[in-house]
Homo-oligomer: A and B are copies of this chain.
Amino acid sequence: MRGNRLTGPPGRPTMKDVARVAGVSLKTVSRVVNGEGSVSAPLAAQVNDAIATLNYRLDHGASTLRRGDHRTGTIGLMVEDVANPFFAALHRAVEDVARLHDTHVLIGSVGACPEREGELARAFITRRADGLIIVPLGPDGTSLDDELHTDTPVVFVDRPGYGIAADTVLSTNVAGAAEATRHLIRNGHTRIACIGDRPVVPTARQRRAGYLSALREAGVRPDPALIVEGVTSTDAAVRAVLELLGHDDPPTALFTTRNTVTTGAVRALRALDRQDRVALVGFDDFPLADLLDPPVTVIAQDPVTMGRTAAQALFRRINGDAGPPTRFAIPTRLIPRGSGELRPR
């Protein structure tokens, strides 16, 4: 079953095979394949016939090896989870920019695993990706550090990078979290819980910082009992909220610092039938948030702009820009929909 070739050795046909069938030199085939033009029409036709007969396909790897430039037309993208809508939207935006540069995207999910992060970076660099866009884990996972000291350009996105200086694209996490918290305070809340990921995740730290600064600014003393960390999944968020609301002096409002946590909070409030009594503002928008009851007020990030900005920055670097690293701050936006405007009672 291997090979639709008519003659010749097994395995994928090469330019040599095409040359033999067409009765020309290997170099002439190369010229036809690359459209170099300086081949007479009849010869080119012979070559094209042979290519069609053999179903020949150029080996892009061998080609870039021989060419000096070493551009593989491939970039690597490393995110936490390709199935999370935030990262999926970011991915799509990166792909759209890459396409304008005739470049394809190698992508991997890192999860919460520092070793995987290092492995992926190494695999992508080894495959000579032209550049890398990375949603990094925190600096506690030091494995990236070892991998990135290469000429391969890198852009960090969503979370600050470490180890090397590189362009970085971030949401205005502190400001956004402060805005969420101020919004709840404006609506009369003082017992506001903050539920988020492990503090090693930089975005979780920054959003908690924004929450705390807004409380301080309003003269509200933070209650450690209302700050829940280490919530990494929707299920964990459900449990965390159920427990919080079971306390004696429960919060009257929730600030959740990422989309998976927000949907967990929605589920928990439903389970307790308190969705109309406990206010909720989530960081990061998510599909159908506006159709829930009550509709969920969020601090919307802009994953599309983030992905596009990161990809554009990466291609500037790939094309030789050697200026100092830039930080891009992508603004967040409060979208009041109902859940964040409930007043305490």
Contacts and interface: CB of A to CB of B under 8 A. Distances in A.
Interface of A: 1-4, 11-12, 55, 57-62, 64-65, 70, 72-74, 81-85, 88-89, 91-92, 95, 104-109, 120, 122-128, 149-151, 263, 266-267, 270, 286-288, 291-293, 322
A72 B126 CA distance: 11
Nearest to A148: B55
Contacts of A267: 291
A81 B74 contact: no
Contacts of A123: 73, 104
Given A65-B62, A70-B12, A108-B105, A270 B287 contact: no
A34 to B, nearest CB: 13
Contacts of A150: 4, 12, 55, 57
14 contacts: A1-B322, A4-B151, A57-B150, A60-B128, A61-B72, A73-B127, A82-B88, A85-B287, A95-B109, A104-B127, A266-B291, A287-B288, A291-B292, A292-B292
A60 B109 CA distance: 21
Given A60-B126, A92-B82, A126-B58, A104 B104 contact: no
A310 to B, nearest CB: 16
Nearest to A61: B61
Contact of A104 (B11, B82, B91, B124): B124
A112 to B, nearest CB: 15
Contact of A263 (B91, B126, B288): B288
B127 A60 contact: yes
A285 B344 CA distance: 35
Nearest to A322: B1
Residue from A2, A57, A89, A286 whose CB has the most chain B CB atoms within 10 Å: A57
A287 B289 CA distance: 11
Nearest to A94: B82
B104 A105 contact: no
Given A12-B70, A104-B108, A126 B83 contact: no
A278 B99 CA distance: 42
A273 to B, nearest CB: 13
Given A82-B95, A83-B89, 8 more contacts: A57-B122, A57-B150, A59-B128, A85-B85, A85-B88, A263-B287, A287-B288, A288-B288
A107 B105 contact: yes
Contacts of A263: 287-288
Contacts of A286: 287-288
A149 B53 CA distance: 11
A88 B109 CA distance: 12
A62 B123 CA distance: 14
A261 B33 CA distance: 44
A2 B105 CA distance: 24
B270 A61 contact: no
Contacts of A104: 106, 108, 120, 123-124, 127
Contact of A95 (B11, B61, B108): B108
A92 B106 contact: no
A92 B109 contact: yes
